[in-house]
Structure 1
Amino acid sequence: MTPLPTDKDEFIVECIKAYKNQPNILQDIHDFLEYYEPDTSLFWHSRQTFLYPLVNKALRLENIYLLYLCRFFMRDIRDELVRLQHTEPVKVYCGQVMSLNEIIQLKSLFYGDPTTTTTTDVRLRAIYIAFKSFLSTSLEKSVAEFYVAGQPVADECLVLFEIDATPNVCSQTNSFAKLHKSSAFENEEEVLFILNSIFRITDIHEEESKYIITLELCNNNDHTFKSVFESLKKDYSGEVAGYETEANLNSFATVLFNMKKYDLADKFFRRLYNELPPSHRDRARCCHNIGNVALARGQYKESLRWLNRALELFQQLWPFDHPGSGNTYHCIGSLYKSKRKYE
């Protein structure tokens, strides 16, 4: 989904609202507004000021509205990681705290059900994990171990990830880069992995007071993943017969609709409708989707108003045989069926 020139300003407004009573952070926000450029995204991410916790919290809690606002920043980080893609295999480390339940689930998936599998007949599973963040790692094992030193608290486990990563310069899916000069801390041996990088678990074992989980970086050229990636691309790009396939605000809102997040879906469909010029063909799809959201909410009168408007725009702006009109008629039929009015 391509960021807009106004995205940064809108994001800043929300940040100022969130930190209005914290003058030190407000100064960082104003500095960001004045000095930020796309090629400084890694520097700002490494500073761990207001941006780092804000973006990570949004990713962890799946705060969709905030993620939408800061997508320009995440896009810039991705582009920088692709540009600075490491060209040699690396072994890196990351220390994290995980819940005991998470560890139990991973071990069960990896080794199988301990109640039905003996220690002499262990069938290792192909288990893959993805981190809901830009994964920060270090070439120095001691740096990662610092974050998992000591004893864990109740129901938590200290975990040291040991990651083997071989770059695929032809793929942007799992890019990673050594930051050094792009970081606010040039002397740190940090290697940053792109958002939602996918790893295969190769081993899980306990060592002293922590768990060691070894991982291997995967990419979308792996045979196991090809069909999955193609499916995700189709699902998230809004690809329907006759529609463009680039992921945009319309397809983003469609994902929200499929997640039954109707308030957010309606908000983004209407936003796109208002941003598009009157003659833009996608306004027909916006009307259809706004009507579809209203239908899902049981707002039949509102739904019919938008669906009829969608039909008008499909007839005005699209070829007569475009499937959009048929989809809209289908929704109108579903509307009358829901009202128990068959015509």
Structure 2
Amino acid sequence: MVELCRQKCAGNEKDLQYIDEFEEYYNASNAIFWFTRDIFLYRLLNKALRELDIDTIYSLRYFFKDLHTKLLERYFSTRLKSASDSLRETVFRGQLMSNKEFDEKIRHNTGGFLPVSSFFSTTLNRQLAFTYAGDGSSETEQSIVFEIDVDKNDYIFPYADISTESAFDGVESEVLFTFGAVFRILSIEKNDDNIWIVKLKLTQEEDGESKALTLQLREQILCAQYPLQSLSNLMAYMGHHDKAEKYSLLLLRDTSFISLHVLSIIYEHLGSIYHYTGRHELALEYYWKSFSVLTEHQSVVDPTLQYAHKNKGHINEEKGDYKGALFDYTEALKIQLQKENLDFYEIANSFYRIGQVYRAQKYYEQALSMHEKSLAIKLNIFPPTHPKISLSYQSIGQIYYLQGLYAKALTFYEKCLEVAMKAFHKEHSNISLIYTDIGLTYYRQADYNDAADCFQKALQVQLTTSEQNQPILATTYENLAYSLYNIGKMKEGLEHMKKACEINSKNFPSNHPKVIRDFDWVADVQKELAGGEVQAN
């Protein structure tokens, strides 16, 4: 942690001196004091949380945990001492906010949510908040005073009056909320001094991914036995598969302290990452590693062999041995259904995997039946905006697509997209896959304009979430090229196909069908364009 801070503050002698002081004198009991000092630590931690800079958050995790723990201690201590006091209180926060951020988050959002990913500093002193808000004269920023209504009986997001431990010695009457608080915007008004008064209420209502991510961060960084494993899971959930792979591989550098069960899970997780990103040989390798751990240490890891069957099913599915995959997934399901305490998510997942195998075998009615069973369970155990529900809608849509029932496919893709937009941020890799599926359906209906539009949206997401040489990105360039060609934009399509050629040439040998097909298409379109120019001349 200290080394990271030195790297971040290189060239700033004052901050480097503070870092030396921190290294010598810091302990967990004074985490609040260090956070409230106007030095490097406050800026680094809140910036990392706002930007979801997982590398920095992980490096600062011990301080992160100490600060959160101290807030919890003070929160519960205060609740016990003030049980007979007023059940409500109001705190304030004054700040400047850019016009763009204000328009996006507040101006037209009355009744909506305002999630705060960082630790959130407020004050009991209303006048002090107006001082921090500025005078309302800026043309590029808005002056805002937040008035936050808090019900002391609600345990939602811990907060505490930290005046006695603050570096400001109580001058600011500071009340600090832990990271990830979610507020509902009750009203927005501008006063005569050109300052916005925004009334908020602390809420525990769902807020899509913003809440899901902060809750996962809290659980997985603060409470996890293996933080790197948890961060890898979180990165995969967010669609950042390169970082998910990085953290899992870092954890495998020293497996001596990892339980066999967790080791098998890490191998399986890497297998799923490689499968998702189109690296099927690596996927197969890591699924085998997971299976080997499970079977070699059966009595310790998995007495029922449920997970061994599941992983062997992954292996057979990856190899194209669908008969074997179906057997193993079915065996895993039998074990799950015989348990005294049913794990409905595991059961839903088994129905899903069996459905995928039937789909690969082109047994579409059986596949549809399995996916409908999986969806029915998920709708009973998850909230309606859960990402797993989006996945089931997508899978059912894909089956209808393969049956040529394009109108039905689009209906389920639209449901899928609606849930995904609430469950994920708009640049999540799953969003790109949904746009791709919708684009392919439009393409099959010869609606090339809408197809091109969807493929363009998929591409925009992938350029922010995928490594630039992944096969999935090449596929999107190909789809976009074909669509543009069919609406007469041959030159634009040609440029996209050239990018696909470049990526596929890095991932496959020169005699691979993908590489040959793309280069042939480029050559044919170049000839067509050249012939058109000659004819015009």
Alpha-carbon distance, 1:30 to partner: 1.8
The residue aligned with 1:153 is: 138
Q: Deviations over 1:291-312 (max 9, x none)?
A: 2222223222222222111110
Report the aligned-residue RMSD.
Answer: 3.2
Q: 1:97 to 1:331 in 2, by over 3 A?
A: farther
Alpha-carbon distance, 1:103 to partner: 3.8
CA contact (8 A) 1:311 1:325 kept: yes
CA distance in 2 between partners of 1:307 and 1:158 (Å): 55
The residue aligned with 1:304 is: 284
The residue aligned with 2:231 is: 252
SS of 1:203 mapped into structure 2:
strand
The residue aligned with 2:241 is: 262
> Amino acid of the residue matched to residue 67 of structure 1?
I
The residue aligned with 2:180 is: 196
Alpha-carbon distance, 1:107 to partner: 4.1
SS of 2:172 mapped into structure 1:
coil
CA contact (8 A) 2:93 2:146 kept: yes
The residue aligned with 2:160 is: 177
CA distance in 2 between partners of 1:146 and 1:279 (Å): 54
Q: How do 1:256-295 residues align onto structure 2 when only pairs under 5 Å count?
A: 256-277=235-256, 280-295=260-275
Q: 1:231 to 1:279 in 2, by over 3 A?
A: closer
The residue aligned with 1:64 is: 54
SS of 1:157 mapped into structure 2:
strand
The residue aligned with 2:422 is: none
Q: 1:200 to 1:164 in 2, by over 3 A?
A: same
CA contact (8 A) 2:119 2:180 kept: yes
The residue aligned with 2:97 is: 98
Q: 1:194 to 1:279 in 2, by over 3 A?
A: closer
Structure with greater helix percent: 2
Alpha-carbon distance, 1:95 to partner: 1.1
CA contact (8 A) 2:181 2:202 kept: yes
CA contact (8 A) 2:302 2:308 kept: no
Match among 62, 71, 86 for residue 81 of structure 1 = 71
Q: How do 1:1-343 residues align onto structure 2 when only pairs under 5 Å count?
A: 11-85=1-75, 86-87=78-79, 89-105=88-104, 106-110=106-110, 125=111, 127-168=112-153, 171=155, 173-186=156-169, 187-208=171-192, 209-219=194-204, 224=205, 248-277=227-256, 280-317=260-297, 318-336=301-319
CA contact (8 A) 1:167 1:175 kept: no
Q: Deviations over 1:61-83 (max 9, x none)?
A: 11111111112212211111111
Provide structure 2 residue ranges, at least 5 long, that are not aligned to the other structure. Answer: 83-87, 321-359, 362-537
Alpha-carbon distance, 1:203 to partner: 1.4
CA contact (8 A) 2:117 2:214 kept: no
CA distance in 2 between partners of 1:265 and 1:230 (Å): 20
Q: Deviations over 1:131-186 (max 9, x none)?
A: 121111111112111122223533532111011222247x3x41111112211111
> Amino acid of the residue matched to residue 307 of structure 1?
Y
CA distance in 2 between partners of 1:331 and 1:200 (Å): 43
> Amino acid of the residue matched to residue 265 of structure 1?
A
Q: 1:139 to 1:285 in 2, by over 3 A?
A: same
> Amino acid of the residue matched to residue 79 of structure 1?
T
Q: Deviations over 1:197-252 (max 9, x none)?
A: 12222211111312111112234xxxx559999987997779xxxxxx98853233
CA distance in 2 between partners of 1:23 and 1:235 (Å): 36
Alpha-carbon distance, 1:271 to partner: 2.2
SS of 2:145 mapped into structure 1:
strand
Alpha-carbon distance, 1:315 to partner: 1.4
Provide structure 1 residue ranges, at least 5 long, that are not aligned to the other structure. Answer: 1-10, 111-124, 239-244
Which protein is bigger by CA-based radius of gyration? 2
* Structure ranking higher on relative contact order (CA contacts 8 Å, 6+ apart): 1
CA distance in 1 between partners of 2:100 and 2:210 (Å): 28
> Amino acid of the residue matched to residue 153 of structure 1?
S
> Amino acid of the residue matched to residue 141 of structure 2?
E
Alpha-carbon distance, 1:313 to partner: 0.6
CA contact (8 A) 2:179 2:214 kept: no
SS of 1:32 mapped into structure 2:
helix
CA distance in 2 between partners of 1:147 and 1:137 (Å): 11
CA distance in 2 between partners of 1:81 and 1:107 (Å): 31
CA contact (8 A) 2:120 2:179 kept: yes
SS of 1:181 mapped into structure 2:
coil
Q: 1:217 to 1:30 in 2, by over 3 A?
A: same
CA contact (8 A) 2:186 2:201 kept: yes
Alpha-carbon distance, 1:29 to partner: 1.2
User: After the TM superposition, which of the residue ranges 203-212 and 83-92 deviates more from structure 2?
Assistant: 83-92
Could you tell me the percent identity over the aligned residues? 25
SS of 1:147 mapped into structure 2:
helix
> Amino acid of the residue matched to residue 108 of structure 2?
S
User: After the TM superposition, which of the residue ranges 304-313 and 84-93 deviates more from structure 2?
Assistant: 84-93
TM-score (norm 1): 0.78
CA distance in 1 between partners of 2:214 and 2:172 (Å): 35
CA distance in 2 between partners of 1:147 and 1:201 (Å): 20
